Structure 1
Amino acid sequence: MNTAKESKKLIKYKPGKEYIATIQCTLSSTTHTITYKGDLKEGFFLKDLAPGLIKIFGKSFTSAVGEIPNSLFAIIFFIVSFFFSAFFLSVANYYTSERGILLAILLSGFVITTAVPLKLQYYYIAEYYRNTVCNNCGKEFICRETEKPDIKEISTPETYRIQITRYWSCRSCGYMNVRESSEGFVTKKGKTMKVSDLAKVQCKRCGKTGTYIEYKKPDIRVSKEQETMERRYYRCKLCNYEDIAATEFFMVPDSGGVSAIEWNIDYEDYFG
């Protein structure tokens, strides 16, 4: 018999942002099902130009470009832009000098910093097109999101996946389009902590350190913007309290280029 227990958590994931999640744990399989309401889709830079760009480049090409991994896209653009820069600099008789090579590298780096965000815009355009086509009347760019999405995350000892259900209402025929997908998230399991690191974690209930065990592999989720979430599951050997802790890593631009930011996600017991 699969015995399950349910709890609610207040999850604080960014400064001033929080949501309530329901967590069901099937004890026999150590499977956690986390459900909550997400945020409506935000706009993006080329949203207003999306219909025109779809007409120019087509649905298939736009979608294909958007699905290219960021790292591969950056490498390809770096190589192409470097050779183009080298060619033009050689015409100007600069390439044979160290200054010319350095300039070619700098130009290539500049192209990459603009190319990768542009590639993401292609992904957003293709996704926006798929979301706003009505499955009933067939009209394009006619649907709008009318309620917050339902998000379900399923974590087992060996697997982890996410399912996002969004609701798009057609402004023409009124049909409600329900769309389910992972929205480009890459999900996988990570490695458990070293014993020496785990010994430093303090139990939220009894306050003791060195009493936690990590009873299954952590969940790892990576977004298209390369924001990475890592979530771990602990149990105290003294008081049997089960704790969840997560960390999010993301890149932000600054005066020196780009910096990595780490943000702790708090899971607080909720009894409301």
Structure 2
Amino acid sequence: MSKPKYVKFPVGINKRFLDDVCYELDRDTDALTITSEGNFYDFPKERAPNMVNSLGLEKIKTVKKVSILLAASSLLLLLFLLFLRQTLEEAYWPLSIILFLACMMFFFVATDLYKIENYYNISRCKKCGRDFAYEEIKKSLIKKVSTYDDYEETDTRYFKCKYCSDEDLKIKSLLKKSKSKARNIYRNEKNCKECGKNFALIEYREADTHLESFDTRRTIKHYKCTHCEYMEISIKDDYVTTN
């Protein structure tokens, strides 16, 4: 279990920076905006043009679909072997290993071809029409806005054509219904770090809980003082384990 980190908003302060991340509170609406810098796309820049030129995009799409189908079929056969484990006896483990390796191989092939197809689509210039023309000119901007109604994640990427200098923004948004409703009953009362009043700092919203990545769950809790305008949030990341 990880320890939470706290972002403090003293009276009159609505924006704070911590670990290269900007946290901003709207005290009127209680909306929380988290802004940070992302990473560049992990594109197969050297292999993609050669693959597209030699095979063609349609053939790459076909091979990708076949690889996905073969990976799924290998996985289903591997699961089916579990029911025949006692019948197959010594042949069970060699067959299982072969099917597992086949599943992983087809999965990686499909993933690689998906990256090539995605790179082709994203990097085609809208102005001059050349393939593999757009290049990222700076790291992406990741913005997360939490309100009582919604939790929206936006990933903005910045591209420029290396041939005609056309610039383009590519924005990907993910909107979720927020679970962070207002609390009817004050809970987790603590002493205020600003005015010092006992049991004045209360958790006034239900916590935001979302998957930050495929193996990390983030929980954001919201606190405010009932006597002064001091506010703070706590952020806790926990690994998601599957049994």
Report the Cα offset of residue 42 of structure 1.
3.4
Output the CA distance in 1 between the equivalents of 2:40 and 2:87: 53
Output the CA distance in 1 between the equivalents of 2:190 and 2:63: 47
Output the CA distance in 2 between the equivalents of 1:169 and 1:76: 41
Report the Cα offset of residue 230 of structure 1.
1.6
Report the Cα offset of residue 138 of structure 1.
0.7
Report the Cα offset of residue 122 of structure 1.
3.4
Pick one of 160, 163, 182 that aligns with 1:172. 163
User: Using CA pairs below 8 Å that are at least 6 residues apart, which structure has the higher relative contact order?
Assistant: 2
Aligned pairs for 1:91-240 within 5 A: 97-182=88-173, 189=178, 205=193, 213=203, 215-221=205-211, 223=213, 226-235=214-223, 240=230
Amino acid paired to 1:247 = D
| Residue aligning to 1:79 | 76
- Mapped contact 1:63–1:126 kept (Cα < 8 A): no
| Residue aligning to 1:48 | 46
Q: Which runs of 4+ in 1 moved over 6 A?
A: 201-204, 206-209
SS in 1 for 2:92: helix
Cα 1:41–1:134 change in 2 (3 A) is same
- Mapped contact 2:21–2:34 kept (Cα < 8 A): no
Output the CA distance in 2 between the equivalents of 1:10 and 1:73: 46
Output the CA distance in 1 between the equivalents of 2:120 and 2:191: 47
| Residue aligning to 1:10 | 18
- Mapped contact 2:148–2:179 kept (Cα < 8 A): no
Amino acid paired to 1:228 = T
Report the Cα offset of residue 54 of structure 1.
3.9
SS in 1 for 2:14: strand
Output the CA distance in 2 between the equivalents of 1:60 and 1:152: 37
Runs of at least 5 residues in structure 1 that lack an aligned partner in the other structure? 12-18, 87-94, 193-197, 251-259, 261-272
2:29 equivalent to 1:38: no
Report the Cα offset of residue 140 of structure 1.
0.7
Amino acid paired to 2:75 = F
**Identical residues among aligned pairs (%):** 19
Cα 1:227–1:204 change in 2 (3 A) is farther
Output the CA distance in 2 between the equivalents of 1:118 and 1:24: 44
Output the CA distance in 1 between the equivalents of 2:202 and 2:99: 48
| Residue aligning to 1:58 | 57
Amino acid paired to 2:38 = G
Cα 1:140–1:150 change in 2 (3 A) is same
Cα 1:136–1:148 change in 2 (3 A) is same
Radius of gyration: which is bigger? 2
| Residue aligning to 1:245 | 235
Runs of at least 5 residues in structure 2 that lack an aligned partner in the other structure? 1-11, 182-186
Output the CA distance in 2 between the equivalents of 1:25 and 1:154: 11
Cα 1:97–1:37 change in 2 (3 A) is closer
SS in 1 for 2:164: coil
Report the Cα offset of residue 178 of structure 1.
1.5
Report the Cα offset of residue 63 of structure 1.
10
Cα 1:175–1:64 change in 2 (3 A) is farther
| Residue aligning to 1:25 | 26
Report the Cα offset of residue 112 of structure 1.
3.4
Amino acid paired to 1:149 = S
| Residue aligning to 1:254 | none
Query: Which whole-Å deviations, capped at 9, do the CAs of 1:212-257 have from their partners, x for residues lacking one?
Result: 526134141455xx2434231221567753213031537xxxxxxx
- Mapped contact 1:35–1:150 kept (Cα < 8 A): yes
- Mapped contact 2:180–2:206 kept (Cα < 8 A): no
- Mapped contact 2:147–2:178 kept (Cα < 8 A): no
